[in-house]
Amino acid sequence: MVDKNLIVDTISQIGSVALDAAQDNAIDNVNEEVNQALAFERKQERKHIARVFAELGIDRQKAINLLVFEWDTDRRDAEELMLEAHRIYWPLERLKRHLRNEDWTMSEISDFLHDYEVARQLRTNRRLSDLTAAGLVDWLQKNQD
């Protein structure tokens, strides 16, 4: 004859183990999502810092060292952030400011940046980053693909 209490206890233990495993799995998933979100936030923060360094005209190597030593950034990542900030972000900001000063609306600026693929142009042609905002507008309008 089978002991009913033994069967109930066994089923209860199996259920308890399954519940513990499900809870552990849920906690692991939440922890992973939180860690990914924190990593994304840190990356965004570093990108912002690189952009501020570029806007302030801080020497690129000094800015890279600050990112590496003060913001715990991998050297290669710091170099890429600063390159992007100097070659793409800051020239775009200078251009936007110039166009606003020329009384362009935000919609017109957005359309211009989109139509002329300004970010792509800045990525592919290094010397464009060194142009003044007015020079960049002239170059883009003369050399539209």
Does residue 21 register a pLDDT over 90? Answer: no
Amino acid at 31: N
- 2 vs 97, more confident: 97
- 140 and 109 Cβ atoms separated by less than 8 Å: no
Q: How far apart are the first and last CA of the chain?
A: 87
pTM of structure: 0.65
Does residue 2 register a pLDDT over 70? Answer: no
Whole-angstrom distance, CA of residue 63 vs CA of residue 80: 12
Amino acid at 55: E
What would the pLDDT profile of 34-64 be if each residue is shown by its tens digit?
999 999 999 999 999 998 998 888 888 999 9
Residue 145 pLDDT level (bands cut at 50, 70, 90)? low
DSSP string, 119-132: HHHHHH-GGGGGS-
What would the pLDDT profile of 77-133 be if each residue is shown by its tens digit?
999 999 889 888 888 888 999 999 999 999 998 999 888 888 888 888 878 888 888
Average pLDDT of the chain to the nearest whole number: 87
Does residue 144 register a pLDDT over 80? Answer: no
Residue 141: how many CB atoms within 10 A of its CB?
Answer: 10
CA angle (101, 105, 110) in 5-degree steps: 105
